[in-house]
């Protein structure tokens, strides 16, 4: 299983960052390039452990979607889900927010951990050559977008 870890310091409180971990706001920074939509099981208003989340969108002319199940959730601090897509790629995404006390005021460290496995030998080769680099770049863009939104809100 491949693992990508990316951290970002955001110069606002963890509360200001975590407001963007609501299903209605997550699409602004998570998957914004594909105009993503997050649909929660039974129309739930917020995340909770065991909840199914359908994430869908478009890349070019192609519709994509995958289902995730929330495996850990602590309001203001943590969101984790496991996913599998139609191509057999499965894995886990985890966001941890840590409030840093310092002389400069409120600051939050956001850690994004992405673990995934591509099916078959060809999938592993393509991952090694292309996918992991593209995912690392995409994950950095997600955190940059999240930071910009949180800073504007604060």
- Beta-carbon count within 10 A of 144 CB: 13
What are the tens digits of pLDDT across the range 125-154?
777 777 889 889 999 999 999 999 999 976
Under 8 Å between Cβ of 114 and 30: no
H-helix or E-strand spanning residue 119: none
pLDDT above 80: residue 109: yes
**pLDDT tens-digit readout, 58-102:** 888 888 888 999 999 999 999 999 999 888 889 999 999 999 876
Alpha-carbon distance 99 to 112, whole Å? 15
Tens digits of residue pLDDT in 6-36:
999 999 999 999 999 999 899 889 887 878 8
- Is pLDDT at 120 greater than 90 in this prediction? no
Residue 103 has pLDDT above 60, yes or no: no
Range of the domain at 126: 2-153
User: Closest by alpha carbon to 31, among 6, 1, 54, 2?
Assistant: 54
pLDDT: which is higher, 3 or 60: 3
pTM for the model: 0.88
* Cβ neighbours, 10 Å, residue 114: 20
CATH number, domain of 137, equals 3.30.530.20
Judged against a pLDDT cut of 80, whether residue 121 lies above it is answered with: yes
pLDDT at residue 104 greater than cutoff 70: no
Domains of the chain: total: 1
- Longest alpha-carbon distance in the chain: 50
pLDDT at 119 over 60: yes
């Amino acid at each position: 299983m491949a693992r990508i870890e990316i951290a970002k310091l955001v110069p606002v409180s963890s509360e200001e960052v975590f407001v963007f971990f609501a299903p209605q706001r997550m699409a602004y920074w998570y998957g914004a390039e594909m105009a993503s939509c997050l649909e929660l099981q039974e129309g739930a208003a917020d995340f909770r452990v065991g909840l199914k989340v359908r994430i869908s969108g478009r890349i070019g002319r192609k519709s994509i979607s995958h289902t995730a199940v929330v495996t850990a959730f602590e309001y203001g601090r943590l969101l984790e889900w496991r996913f599998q897509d139609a191509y057999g790629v499965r894995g886990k995404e985890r966001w941890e927010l840590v409030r840093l006390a310092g002389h400069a005021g409120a600051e939050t460290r956001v850690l994004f951990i992405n673990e995934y496995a591509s099916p078959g030998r060809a999938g592993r080769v393509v991952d090694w050559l292309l996918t992991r680099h593209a995912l690392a770049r995409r994950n950095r863009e997600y955190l940059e977008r999240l930071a910009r939104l949180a800073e504007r809100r604060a």
